[in-house]
Structure 1
Amino acid sequence: MDDLAGDTGWRGSREGWLQAAYEALIDGGVDSVKIMTLAARLKLSRTSFYWFFKDRADVLDALRARWVEATTVPLVSACREYAESGPEAMLNLLASFLSGRFDARFEFAARSWGLQDAAMAAAVGAADAERLDALAAMLGRWGHDAQDADVRARTVYLVQIGYISMRSDEPLETRLSRIPNYVEIYTGKRPAPREMARFRARLGLEP
């Protein structure tokens, strides 16, 4: 089967089928991730699917793993990035959301999926715990005691997930204007102008 995964002939490819499943999930929820629907998206035969996945459950498992890579991995990585101060460490995290490294659409779809499926709900719960642990550890490295780090981590996380769950369409510059205040609430300190300049540069914006 591994040899077939790279097949890019008329059957498509494993990544192509998985991308179609991702797009179906984003567009219509987990109920839209059906073999016939994916085949129609790709203009391929239904039987081609079985060269790459055993069944629908198999492609859902692959989607779940891809969701972790597109959300939890970049968040945890951002929490471990180099920073000169606690506020800049928090800016690193916020940049992961605003730059698109954290796939917010995938997160929204995954949480909706979890409302219908116990296995996905468990995966979401495990991701929440891992992300909160990473946030609390980051805050702990900058001098917050365990209780304070836990509460601040939850404040950060619930706000960010709230933005996603509410599908906030707040203009980018409006949100950016609030970032120094958010960082002060999250860490107890306001970011320095040079830190905000670096933050904006990471997002490809003028200082």
Structure 2
Amino acid sequence: MAARNTSLDNELQGFAACFRAQSGHLIFSTSPGGEGRVVSEDEAVGFWCNYAALSHRHARRFGHSVWASVVLLILFGTLGVKYRMPLLTGLALLSMFGWWFTAIAQRIIRACFKYRVWDALAHHTPVRALTRHEKIARGFALSVGQWLMLGVALIAYAALSAPSRALPPEWRDVQMLAIAVVMFGALLALLAFGAVRLVRRLRRRG
């Protein structure tokens, strides 16, 4: 079985996040929680299916472009070495990055798809963008506290995963201890979170 394309899945989820339920209507915006237009459920399903079909088509063509890049690289590289022609060598180098140009072009096309949907809904009822608090409540934005926690987590990860020789001498002896403490703390936090959710679920049932 072929491995799932996580990048494609993330893009599909990102496009689905452009649709939101609000005041009994379905809203489309080019960015989650932004200014939107009212859209019917049938239209939303049609747009999402078209975007999914476009993404899967691009994924298939990207795979073909990778194979074409490898074949052309070998072909032009072999001819360039045999005939010592700078043009063939240049074509070999260009073929090496053919898949990269394909990926950029496909990204642009998929980004433009959102704005084609926006243009198609230009005459639909406009809806204001969500406030920052509304975006945070819906998970479209991070609060200041969440940004701080993310920053601390990244700093801690960088410090704990850094090679011992990259750390100050006084930190090297406690690096392994710090890793163990962080892992133990993360385990306790997960257990506490699970316990809290279990208690809340039992209270709702009761």
TM-score, structure 2 length as denominator? Answer: 0.27
Q: Which structure's CA Rg is the greater one?
A: 2
Higher strand share: 2
